[in-house]
Chain A
């Protein structure tokens, strides 16, 4: 059943996301081919133009988030909900399908962003295409993408929870539910970051004394002892070959924890506490 749901959910959302990706790539292409002309321009026009193009890309990112919101909301809580909720499919399976599709589109949006940047580098800076990705994908970029991935899981799960809560039996008036959902989303998001920050700093104080990282390690079996904790991060060093990985394990674990809680709560609400009016 999950595969069938995925097929229909992907079909439902594909058109919008593919169109948005195409627009983002087009903007990047325009930025790249006009970069010389823009650099020779004088006055405020250049700033206005750059601002418009940057806003275009930021707008695409915001539109992607709005699309994920609408995808979930329309599936369950518009008239289509009468079809979704009366399918002989478990609520958990339906929720899993929505999460998988949303995360897939988030990864797609990240890929589009990477390709857009690559286009600008290749065309505007004259870098060879084969050299672009090794330059872009240094370990720090990869770790940042990993952090973004965990953040996205938590944010999407939290978004789903708030939308579901707004349509639960706990609110007699839909508008109260929606306002509570928005406040809850903002408050929980803020709380999540504060907790991570405090936790990271606290753990850093506890562990920083124990870090002992030496250079010149080349063998994998001698590599593991060099794993340490620094400022709440998993640190892996291999200096001669330039390996420096900082994985924010506490923040990412906290994000996964929040996501798991939000998913469990959403599943419970969908199963027991949602009413379509």
Chain B
């Protein structure tokens, strides 16, 4: 199976804190991989490294054969855990921004998604609720035909109804020619869509396996196993 993302021996320190301790991880084409762990386990640090947002790390990262940077950014559609679309943008401006910079962006698809959610395109991002902002961001990110989608805590700050929408949007727009790496600490909602689960604890991978296999071998759901593994951490 073709590897979309390859990470080998990744280490990252913040001052004296060793945030990521020699992680190796592969993401294969067509898979939805969950990077699961409590806050502070290193999920966002790994994602930022892939996105080239952190510069001083040890180890190797390759995205479709390229190192993090300009070329890799053409292949990755990234949803960070913060509201990264400038809040003074109107929704229409955000669409035009993505269309200007990403060759694989499908503006029509984004417009259709936004219309289906009744999000007014002439409104400024800052005038929208937090949930609506999340939906706008996700619609833009999922309207690209990227090789790798990286979604950092996509359901972390939204209500249960919005979570349902976000998960169905991810599934509906998933490009089988690509892969998704998705981080979260809210397992129950996201479990049904995951192919592979990676448990992160204190900067190390403690489990990396097929979700079906985990359920069969452990005899419990991913959510139950997560609570078991992290009961003293969360």
User: Residues of A with Cβ closer than 8 Å to B?
Assistant: 1, 4, 7-8, 11-12, 79-83, 85-90, 169, 172, 272-277
Contacts and interface: CB of A to CB of B under 8 A. Distances in A.
Contact of B85 (A83, A86, A277): A83
A86 B52 contact: yes
A88 B100 contact: no
Nearest to A91: B70
B82 A273 contact: no
Given A90-B70, A172-B15, A85 B52 contact: yes
A275 B54 contact: yes
A172 B54 CA distance: 13
B6 to A, nearest CB: 19
Interface stretch (B22-30, B73-81, B167-175, B217-225): B73-81
What 3 A-B pairs come out closest when comparing CB atoms? A82-B84, A88-B74, A88-B73
B70 A85 contact: no
A275 B56 contact: yes
A13 B17 CA distance: 38
Contacts of B52: 85-86
Given A82-B53, A83-B86, 6 more contacts: A7-B100, A8-B97, A8-B100, A83-B84, A86-B73, A273-B55
A169 B56 contact: yes
27 contacts: A1-B101, A4-B101, A8-B97, A11-B93, A12-B86, A79-B82, A81-B84, A82-B78, A82-B82, A83-B84, A83-B85, A83-B86, A85-B51, A85-B52, A85-B53, A86-B52, A86-B53, A88-B70, A88-B71, A88-B73, A89-B70, A89-B101, A169-B56, A172-B14, A272-B55, A273-B55, A273-B56
Contacts of A89: 70, 101
Contact of A88 (B53, B56, B82, B101): B101
Contacts of A7: 100
Contacts, number: 62
A81 B54 CA distance: 12
Looking at B52, B54, B83, B101, which has the most chain A CB atoms within 10 Å of its CB? B101
Contacts of B74: 88
Contacts of B51: 85-86
Nearest to A8: B97
A90 B84 CA distance: 19
B88 interface: yes
Given A8-B97, A88-B71, A275 B55 contact: yes
Contact of B83 (A79, A88, A274): A79
Nearest to A79: B82
Contacts of B71: 88
A274 B56 CA distance: 9
B21 interface: no
Contacts of A88: 70-71, 73-74, 101-102
Contact of B84 (A80, A172, A272, A275): A80
Contacts of B14: 172, 277
B121 interface: no
Interface in B56-94: 56, 70-71, 73-74, 76, 78, 80, 82-86, 88, 93
B109 interface: no
Nearest to A277: B14
B149 to A, nearest CB: 13
B73 A274 contact: no
Contact of B55 (A8, A83, A172, A274): A274
Interface in B137-153: none
B3 interface: no
A172 B114 CA distance: 40
A4 B77 CA distance: 19
Contacts of A272: 55
Nearest to B152: A82
Interface in B97-148: 97, 100-102
